């Protein structure tokens, strides 16, 4: 049972409980475990491929802007999450049954790799969610800003580059205590064979070390709950800005096709970013709450969090993989550049925009009549 969010693993030396002893949640978790291996492998391969495409398209010279810079580095963090997950899932889920306790499966080298993956995935997830916060904050500031011009755009681009670097560095530094908390545990089985596993942190028990509890709570708050709260605040502000001011803006700009086209494109970009942010909230906020409950409520980790572990992993992997689909559906510019680069489709983005402009103007005229 891989648990990249808390960074621990239940002691699996016990045999799985009989079906009659399993709660409905455990039965659901067992079903997800049975399909987790090949399902997550497919998702990872798709996600790695599509995120590489995202980077190649968004990093083009004619596509460079602050928003695309954030999205490019978000794709990098998603790739870094999924690449090391592939050998893990092949070994622990595909090559061996999930409940197999053989020394071959839990050898020392694989336990070390497991420990590395837990810490590394926690870091890349933290980077991704704070880049999501940066997207929400940047878009909110951009919409409200009255500063225009090439010089202002260059300054903003440099600022975003500094923010991206800060997110990567700070996310790594803030999780150093979490890295030091996780340890390997040598376990001797009844047949005298030896396996190596991640040491149980014994959360919500009298044996919980204060430093362990502090690290887990800090991780849940700093890497999950606070970013989700910030994204909710700024996303709500974006929605209010779009809904309240949108109709007045369309009426004012409908007389000038160039301004209307630019404003229409900005609105589409904002909607696309809102979808990306909402997916972050759907994925990360429940995990943050579950981590806090696991650290404070006795038996919650074993009875609730652990059965949901594989489900939460696959949801996180899907969230890492789905942005390419969103960009293709919601961004005409991204879709056009992608087709040009990979399928040699020379359809002009401006021609597509003119077609969409005519449709948008017709809708605006109808709605304001």
Q: What is the C-alpha to C-alpha distance for residues 16 and 295, in angstroms, rounded to an integer?
A: 23
pLDDT of residue 10: 40
Average pLDDT over residues 178-206: 89
Compute the average pLDDT of residues 291-312.
90
Judged against a pLDDT cut of 60, whether residue 75 lies above it is answered with yes
75-84, 136-145, 223-232, 282-291: least confidently modelled range: 136-145
Higher pLDDT, residue 147 or 318 = 318
Contact yes or no for 9/197 (Cβ under 8 A) = yes
Task: Check: pTM over 0.75? Answer yes or no.
Answer: yes
Please give the Cα distance from 326 to 314 (Å, whole number).
Answer: 18
Task: Specify the pLDDT at position 122.
Answer: 92
Which one is predicted more confidently, 8 or 100?
100
List the one residue out of 267, 236, 237 whose CA is nearest residue 253. 267
Summarised one tens digit per residue, pLDDT across range 124-168 is 999 999 999 999 898 888 877 766 667 777 888 899 999 999 999
pLDDT of residue 195: 94
Separation between Cα atoms, residue 353 and residue 41, nearest integer Å: 38
Residue 259 pLDDT:
53
Domains of the chain: 22-331 (1.20.1070.10)
Query: Do 66 and 157 contact (CB within 8 A), yes or no?
Result: yes
Average confidence (pLDDT) over 186-192 = 91
Confidence label for 6 from pLDDT (cuts 50, 70 and 90): very low
Q: Please give the pLDDT value at position 315.
A: 92
Most trustworthy range by pLDDT among 126-130, 257-261, 331-335: 126-130
């Amino acid at each position: 049972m891989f648990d990249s969010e808390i960074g621990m693993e239940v002691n699996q030396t016990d045999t799985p409980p009989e079906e009659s002893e399993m709660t409905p949640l455990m039965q659901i978790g067992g079903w997800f475990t049975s399909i987790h291996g090949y399902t997550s492998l497919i998702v990872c391969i798709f996600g790695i491929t599509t995120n590489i495409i995202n980077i190649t398209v968004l990093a083009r010279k004619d596509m460079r802007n602050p928003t695309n810079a954030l999205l490019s580095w978000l794709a990098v963090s998603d790739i870094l999450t999924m690449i090391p997950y592939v050998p893990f899932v092949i070994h622990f889920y595909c090559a061996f049954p999930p409940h197999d306790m053989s020394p071959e499966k839990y050898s020392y080298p694989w336990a070390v790799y497991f420990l590395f993956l837990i810490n590394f995935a926690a870091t890349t997830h933290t980077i991704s969610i704070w880049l999501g916060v940066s997207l929400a904050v940047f878009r909110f500031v951009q919409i409200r800003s009255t500063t225009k011009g090439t010089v202002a755009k260059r300054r903003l681009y440099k600022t975003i580059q500094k923010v991206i670097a800060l997110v990567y560095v700070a996310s790594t530094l803030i999780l150093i205590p979490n890295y030091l908390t996780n340890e390997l545990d040598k376990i001797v089985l009844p047949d005298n064979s030896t396996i190596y596993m991640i040491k149980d942190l014994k959360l919500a028990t009298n044996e919980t070390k204060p430093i362990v509890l502090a690290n887990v709570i800090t991780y849940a708050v700093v890497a999950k709950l606070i970013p989700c709260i910030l994204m909710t605040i700024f996303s709500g502000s974006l929605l209010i800005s779009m809904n309240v001011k949108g109709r007045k803006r369309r009426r004012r700009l409908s007389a000038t096709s160039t301004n209307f086209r630019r404003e229409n494109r900005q609105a589409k970009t904002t909607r696309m970013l809102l979808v990306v942010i909402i997916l972050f909230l759907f994925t990360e906020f429940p995990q943050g709450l579950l981590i806090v409950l696991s650290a404070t409520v006795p038996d919650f980790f074993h009875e609730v969090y652990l059965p949901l572990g594989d489900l939460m992993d696959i949801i996180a992997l899907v969230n890492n993989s789905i942005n390419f689909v969103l960009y293709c559906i919601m961004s005409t510019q991204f879709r056009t550049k992608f087709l040009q680069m990979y399928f040699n489709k020379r359809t002009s983005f401006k021609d597509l925009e003119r077609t969409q402009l005519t449709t948008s103007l017709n809708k605006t005229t109808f709605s304001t009549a």
